[in-house]
Amino acid sequence: MALKIGTQAPNFKLPATGNKQFELEKDFKGQACIIYFYPKDFTPGCTQEACDFRDNFSFFKNLDIPIVGISRDTIKTHEEFKAANQLPFDLLSDKSGDVCAAYKALIPILKVPKRVTYLLDANHQIKAIYDDLFGARKHIMQMIEEVQKA
């Protein structure tokens, strides 16, 4: 089960594509944002989900809502995945799984990230959640719907 709506999103620091270090409170300070967790680069569902976020990126960019994707893959694999799919947003590497666990986005025994998407407000409180491992296509549509409600 994902974190609850209305709770404060945990801050974290992770390595990001583009040879960067990402920190939620610093890099997205004062901004609403989308953080999506996904199981693995180059798998069909994860590729579809990433491409759906890519194809709808301008919708969120126009509202000043940045996006990041997080999995346990390496930065090297993330760079290849990002390039292969022309993703306009950064991917973050949570090798330890600690951030996935903090966001309740880790399948317990397998230690593989679940497919969970969070919409945070400008104060980084959780405004919306979509938690569906098998509904990759639904994540982007749910976030668009949530943003349009606001």
Query: Over the stretch 119-130, which tens digit does the pLDDT of each residue have?
Result: 999 999 999 998
Residue 108 or residue 18, greater confidence: 18
For 105-147, the DSSP string reads -EETTTTEE--EEEEE-TT-BEEEEEE-SS-HHHHHHHHHHHH
Query: What's this model's pTM, rounded to 2 decimal places?
Result: 0.92
Catalytic residue numbers read 46
| Domains assigned to the chain | 29-149 (3.40.30.10)
Average pLDDT over residues 11-18: 98
Work out the mean pLDDT of the chain and round it to a whole number. Answer: 92
> Comparing C-alpha atoms, which of 114, 96, 127 is closest to residue 9?
127
Strands, DSSP E only, in 46-125? 67-71, 90-93, 106-107, 112-113, 116-120
